[in-house]
Amino acid sequence: MHILLIHQAFAALDEPGGTRHHELARHLIAQGHQVTIIASPVSYLTGDGQQKRVRKQTDDLGVTIIRSYTLPALHRSFVWRVISFLSFMISSFINGLFVRKVDLVWGTTPPIFQAPTAWLLARLKGRPFLLEVRDLWPAFAIAVGVLKSPLLIRLSEWLEKFLYRQADHVMVNSPGYLAHVQARGAQKVSLIPNGADPAMFDPQADGRVFRDLLGLQDEFIALYAGAHGMSNDLDILLDAAALLQDEINVRLVLLGSGKEKSRLQQKAANLGLGRVLFVDPVPKMEMGEALAAADACLAILKPIEMYKTTYPNKVFDYMAAGRPVILAIDGVIRQVVEEANAGIPVPPGDPARVAEAIRFLAHHPQICREMGSNGRKMIEARFSRTELAAQFTALLESMWRSNG
């Protein structure tokens, strides 16, 4: 079976960002299938233009990646961001027309604009269309205040419902999304949740190489890894750091990039937060060493009702690395962390409670280690990428057989 994936935000294992799709593609290849991915040459995490990337390449296992023109304007403004999405939508459609002998087209959102491309290519090629929903757009954009125009909201909601109804199958990565997509027309829906590959992380490692690289010694490191955007509410972490100024052995490390990073760096400087360190993103292959350097890890989103539905990738990586999670997110992901006893949930939007959790773990290393071990066991038992990839492969093979 030849699978074509349209994915502007795709990140390979040697790039920063979420690599779920590359990991799934490599599993499909190992099972004897063929995978072609049409992706952007512009980093979705940093917004950096990298148009000089090799246009077409094949990785060591045989995954073919085609880089399709994208206007490098993701972080300029909302309007420019939409134009960037549209540029990829058009260029990926043209490139997709020339990918031959496709058996199934896989579209993924966000951004939602690439999903119509996948749907149209599937229909033109007479092949089934799988729609993967990784967040509830436009509901999240409306909730966070990015999407405000009544006209754009109506058009976006129409497009969302159209895609759910047109998809031969809808796949979601969080149980919190099931009711939403079904209420808006999705007929066949499967849950294949986010997870992590335990083999990428060694819970016994101390991350000494990463610590030495950053000039860190034996401090207690609370690490946030991921996007620095509006939804991530990282001001709360800086406010928490200000409350921890008396803890001279505690360091807060923010690893990643995004539109808000420069502003956050300026805020940290204005507050005199000398023990807050901003670090550039690293490829996924190096995340094991980065997380090993942490004593505890942070996951945070704005206190918005819709975010209770999410299964953030980073939480599963933290747990796979055997590090306790300080979780400032309510809802379904809190249920996972609490069931595993893998960290300390705190109310979103509350810097005092975040500071309190960091302080507690810094002074209770044995509890810290036990929570980290609990999280690792949960990943191995229920959220291992290998098992989830096998479920995904079975879903695609079922769609293929049903198509004749």
CA distance 224 to 219: 16
The H or E element containing residue 320 is helix 313-320
The DSSP bridge pattern shows strands 169-172 and 189-191 to be parallel
What pLDDT sits at residue 79? 80
Task: Give the residue among 340, 326, 337, 253 at the shortest CA–CA distance from 296.
Answer: 326
What pLDDT sits at residue 377? 98
210, 293 Cβ separation under 8 angstroms: yes
Kindly give, in sequence order, each residue whose CB lies less than 8 Å from that of residue 122, ignoring residues fewer than 6 positions away: 104, 105, 107, 128, 129, 168
What pLDDT sits at residue 53? 58
Query: What structural domains and CATH numbers belong to the chain?
Result: 2-195+384-402 (3.40.50.2000), 198-382 (3.40.50.2000)
Residue numbers of the chain with a pLDDT score lower than 50: 51-52
Report CA-CA distances (Å) from 190 to 95, 117, 183. Answer: 29, 22, 14
Residue 306 DSSP code: G
The strand pairing partners of 36, in sequence order, are: 4, 64
54, 67 Cβ separation under 8 angstroms: yes
SS3 state of residue 363: helix
What pLDDT sits at residue 50? 55
CA distance 47 to 72: 7
Tokens 């000089």 map to which residue? 52
ω into 312 cis (within 30 of 0): no
Residue 4 DSSP code: E
CA distance 60 to 72: 28
Q: Give the strands of the sheet with 343-345, arranged side by side.
A: 276-279, 250-255, 220-225, 296-300, 325-328, 343-345
Residue 312, burial from CB neighbour count under 10 angstroms (0-12, 13-18, 19+): buried
The token duo for 38 is 């049409």
What pLDDT sits at residue 29? 96
pTM above 0.85?
yes
Chain-centroid distance of CA 332 in Å reads 16
The DSSP bridge pattern shows strands 325-328 and 343-345 to be parallel
Give residue-wise pLDDT tens across range 297-339. 999 999 999 999 999 999 999 999 999 999 999 999 999 999 9
What are the backbone dihedrals phi and psi of residue 396, each rounded to the nearest 5 degrees, phi first?
Answer: -65, -40
What pLDDT sits at residue 360? 98
What pLDDT sits at residue 52? 47
Task: Give the residue among 391, 397, 389, 400 at the shortest CA–CA distance from 24.
Answer: 389
CA distance 80 to 86: 10
Chain-centroid distance of CA 10 in Å reads 10
CA distance 362 to 33: 47
